[in-house]
């Protein structure tokens, strides 16, 4: 195949040295050793509080500003529009709760959002009486303009609309720019959870036309606990943490400089990867894995999510193999680490709510396996995974 460019130039994280083939990059990514190296001095040497006026505050303050600029650059924002948070879930909470309490009367989300959005919507309804509309998706997992239009027509007062850039389970890429334009024409505020999209595909807040956008470090080779929210200038939000006025007063607490530096470095590396076309290498590997499964198991491999180029994340392959259960297949293949439903739900046996919302029956949903590739995936790993999965299905 033309895309057999399997060599990865960047250093491999020690955590991948042994253990099963890692095909769960959408759950979390290993930390890039270059990210660790950049962040470490802010735990060891430069420990100062960035707000301190004395000498110890200087370097942390400079590093925090540089990290903010790097995150801003990845998404086409200005540095002052980036608010660091402690997780993607927290960024989503700041966006939704913050916007609804500051400005919105009606919250519109869609059915395959991450629980960090759906549960926040439920909590706002329960605690604040917020009116919530959940938009349906089609069998590719995509929201239609008509559904959004109808929801905005039916709602009273200013709406806050939250649509993810790309789905964590299927990789489906929503038509965010079109939906945001429609929402804005009706006076709504628009949030986009770009946790899975940032670093995998170009994300630009100007091109998308969104007011708020979530960036998550541990989906792009920074550690867990490092995330940010883009807040367009002039958008008023109720803070998520009250206190000393850090992060424009939206999220108080002495800044975690090391994690900010990690996120900033990861954002810079992601931008470099995108510019260098790294996604093409990953797409080729992913499609090779898909082709091998489909050829070895004729008529049994069904893709969950859009097949169309540009409508699905380059690294994500979610398939249901007819006549199997995803959890049993994966249990039979300890040589690979992959997921069934959302990783955030692992342990819960019910079929994936994402696939259920896409209209798939329980059989198809429970047969699903999500194979997500990343920076260190190789052709040899794809070969191993394809062989092991096919053997498990045919032998089981
Ligand atoms: C689409 C999406 N949004 C939000 C999150 C939550 O991010 P965090 O784990 O940093 O809270 C995730 C993580 O799984 C995700 O995939």
Tokens of 254: 């002495």
Angle 207-210-211 from CA coordinates, rounded to 5°: 135
pLDDT at residue 154 tops 50: yes
For residues 144 and 141, what is the distance between their CA atoms, to the nearest angstrom?
10
88 lines ligand 1 (CB under 6 A): yes
Ligand 1, atom 16: closest residue by C-alpha: 168
CB 162 within 8 A of CB 108: yes
Q: Which two tokens stand for residue 218?
A: 């541990």
Q: Is residue 164 within 6 Å of ligand 1 at its C-beta?
A: yes
Q: How far is the CA of 17 from the centre of ligand 1 (A)?
A: 26
> What ligand 1 atom has the least distance to the C-alpha of 26?
16
Long-range contacts (CB closer than 8 Å, 24 or more residues apart) made by 361-368: 364/302, 364/304, 364/320, 365/320, 365/341, 366/325, 366/326, 366/327, 366/340, 367/320, 367/321, 367/322, 367/323, 367/324, 367/325, 367/326, 368/169, 368/304, 368/318, 368/319, 368/320, 368/326, 368/340, 368/341
Measured from the Cα of 342, ligand 1's closest atom is 14
The reported pLDDT for the residue numbered 350 is 83
> In angstroms, what is the span from residue 120 Cα to ligand 1's centroid?
13
343: pLDDT strictly greater than 50: no
In short, whether 116's Cβ falls inside 6 Å of ligand 1 is yes
- Give percent of the chain with pLDDT exceeding 90: 91
pLDDT in tens, 167-188: 999 999 999 999 999 999 999 9
pTM equals 0.96
Checking if the pLDDT of 195 tops 80, the result is yes
CB-ligand 1 contact for 216 (6 Å cutoff): yes
Residue 214 and residue 229 in contact, taking contact as beta carbons nearer than 8 Å = yes
Determine the atom of ligand 1 nearest the C-alpha atom of 89. Answer: 11
Nearest to 219 by CA among 289, 166, 280: 166
Contact 300, 322 (CB under 8 A): yes
How close is the Cα of 216 to the center of ligand 1, in Å? 7
Residue 79: strand, helix, or coil: helix
Quote the pLDDT of residue 1: 38
Predicted local confidence at residue 8, as pLDDT: 67
Q: How far apart are CA 116 and CA 96, in angstroms?
A: 10
Ligand 1 centroid to Cα of residue 344, in Å, is: 8
Work out the average pLDDT over 64-85: 98
Q: Which pair of tokens denotes residue 9?
A: 């130039």
| pLDDT band (50, 70, 90) for residue 3 | very low
- pLDDT score for 345: 47
What mean pLDDT do residues 118-132 have?
A: 97
Rounded Cα distance, 103 and 92, in Å: 16
For ligand 1, atom 15, name the residue with the nearest CA. Answer: 195
Whether ligand 1 lies within 6 angstroms of the CB of 227 is answered as: yes
Alpha carbon separation from 123 to 116, 117, 120, 194, 388 (Å, rounded): 11, 10, 5, 21, 43
Is residue 6 scored above 90 in pLDDT?
no
Determine the 3-state secondary structure of 265 from DSSP. Answer: helix
Q: What is the set of domains in the chain, with CATH numbers?
A: 14-23+277-395 (3.90.1150.10), 34-273 (3.40.640.10)
Q: Tell me, what DSSP letter sits at residue 2?
A: T
Catalytic positions, please?
344
pLDDT score for 349: 67
Tens of pLDDT, residues 270-328: 999 999 999 999 999 999 999 999 999 999 999 999 999 899 999 999 999 999 999 99
- pLDDT, tens digit (0-9, with 9 covering 90-100), for 209-225: 999 999 999 999 999 99
pLDDT of amino acid 346: 52
């Amino acid at each position: 195949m033309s895309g057999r460019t399997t060599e990865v130039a960047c250093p491999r994280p020690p955590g991948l040295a042994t253990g099963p083939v890692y095909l769960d990059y959408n759950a979390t990514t290993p930390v890039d050793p270059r990210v660790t190296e950049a962040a470490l001095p802010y735990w060891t040497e430069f420990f100062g509080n960035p707000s301190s006026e004395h000498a110890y505050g200087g370097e942390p303050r400079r590093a925090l500003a540089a990290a903010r600029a790097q995150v801003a650059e990845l998404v086409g924002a200005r540095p002052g529009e980036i608010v660091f948070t402690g997780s993607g879930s927290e960024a989503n909470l700041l966006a939704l709760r913050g916007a609804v309490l500051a400005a919105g009367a009606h919250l519109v989300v869609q059915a395959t959002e991450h629980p960090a959005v759906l549960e926040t919507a439920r909590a706002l309804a329960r605690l604040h009486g917020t009116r919530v509309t959940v938009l349906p998706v089609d069998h590719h997992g995509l929201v239609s303009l008509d559904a959004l239009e109808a929801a905005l027509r039916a709602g009273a007062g200013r709406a806050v609309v939250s649509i993810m850039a790309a789905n964590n389970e299927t990789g489906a890429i929503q038509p965010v720019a079109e939906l945001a334009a429609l929402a804005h024409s009706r006076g709504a505020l628009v949030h986009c959870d770009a946790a899975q999209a940032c670093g995998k595909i170009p994300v630009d807040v100007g091109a998308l036309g969104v007011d708020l956008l979530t960036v998550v470090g541990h989906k792009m080779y920074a550690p867990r606990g490092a995330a940010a929210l883009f807040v367009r200038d002039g958008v008023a939000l109720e803070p998520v943490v009250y206190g000393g006025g850090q992060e424009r007063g939206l999220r108080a607490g002495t800044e975690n400089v090391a994690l900010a530096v990690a996120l900033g470095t990861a954002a810079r590396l992601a931008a470099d990867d995108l510019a260098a076309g790294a996604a093409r290498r990953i797409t080729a590997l992913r499609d090779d894995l898909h082709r091998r499964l489909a050829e070895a198991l004729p008529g049994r491999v069904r893709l969950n999510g859009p097949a169309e180029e540009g409508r699905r994340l380059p690294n994500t392959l979610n398939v249901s193999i007819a006549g199997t259960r995803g959890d049993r297949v994966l249990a039979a293949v300890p040589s690979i680490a992959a997921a069934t439903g959302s990783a955030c739900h692992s342990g819960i046996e019910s079929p994936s709510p994402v696939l259920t919302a896409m209209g798939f029956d329980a059989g198809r949903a429970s047969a699903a396996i999500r194979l997500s590739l990343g920076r260190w995936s190789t052709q040899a790993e794809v070969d191993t995974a394809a062989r092991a999965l096919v053997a498990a299905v045919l032998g089981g």
